Chain A
């Protein structure tokens, strides 16, 4: 069964304290892996799409990487405005267009 697991469930960081969020996945074949950011009471905001192992993408303080079994979202020198829930989703090869979401990591960055 296709599955996506995110860890940790919650993460508290001091401003400037870099860290990484993990997304482990089990799928029969990967069409793509997506990272989204979700603020309370809002819809998810698209961050990155990764397609193959070894691929990396960056946007400001965020960097996403992909291996055959997991993806990491690295946050460098975070700021309080980076506080949000970060969602990982995979698009399995045999799922038509449906995404399978992880449960998310709630990030809190303290000033």
Chain B
């Protein structure tokens, strides 16, 4: 149980294009999902908290117009990187909070984004 998927696992795009990443909780409902960014050999950096049916809450320094988050259902959240630039290249990981499991966050496998 408590499986979270992400799609795509890898994406390469040209500078200026937009990229959408999907995060799904496969066997539980998640009213809250989280989006993280991870640089090589560093820990996870929380970007935003995604709440089902309401606006996302962004961490300080994260541009909400650049990283669009939509949490349209209890099992799906999407992160869209708009007008991507090379500095947006990173490993993006989502997590979902399982209310039935003492609010443990379960993580997806991550999405490697490379912007050329």
Residues of A within 8 A of B (CB): 32, 34, 36, 41-46, 49, 51, 87, 91, 96-99, 101-104, 106
Q: B43 contacts A43, CB within 8 Å? A: no
A102 to B103 CA separation, bound complex (whole angstroms): 19
A101 to B107 CA separation, bound complex (whole angstroms): 13
Q: B93 contacts A43, CB within 8 Å? A: yes
Q: B43 contacts A46, CB within 8 Å? A: no
Q: A103 contacts B42, CB within 8 Å? A: yes
Q: A46 contacts B110, CB within 8 Å? A: no
Kindly list chain B residues whose C-beta atoms are within 8 Å of the C-beta of A44: 44, 93, 107
Kindly list chain A residues whose C-beta atoms are within 8 Å of the C-beta of B46: 98-99
The residue of chain B having its C-beta at the shortest distance from the C-beta of A102 within the complex is: B43
Q: A97 contacts B44, CB within 8 Å? A: no
B105 within 8 Å of A by Cβ? yes
Of the candidates A46, A102, A104, A106, the one whose C-beta lies within 8 Å of that of B107 is: A46
Q: Is the interface of A mostly helix, strand, loop or mixed?
A: loop
Q: A103 contacts B107, CB within 8 Å? A: no
Q: A103 contacts B43, CB within 8 Å? A: yes
Q: B102 contacts A87, CB within 8 Å? A: no
Kindly list chain A residues whose C-beta atoms are within 8 Å of the C-beta of B110: 41-43
Q: A36 contacts B107, CB within 8 Å? A: yes
Q: A99 contacts B105, CB within 8 Å? A: yes
Kindly list chain A residues whose C-beta atoms are within 8 Å of the C-beta of B32: 97
Q: B49 contacts A43, CB within 8 Å? A: no
A46 to B3 CA separation, bound complex (whole angstroms): 11
Kindly list chain A residues whose C-beta atoms are within 8 Å of the C-beta of B71: none
Kindly list chain B residues whose C-beta atoms are within 8 Å of the C-beta of A51: 102
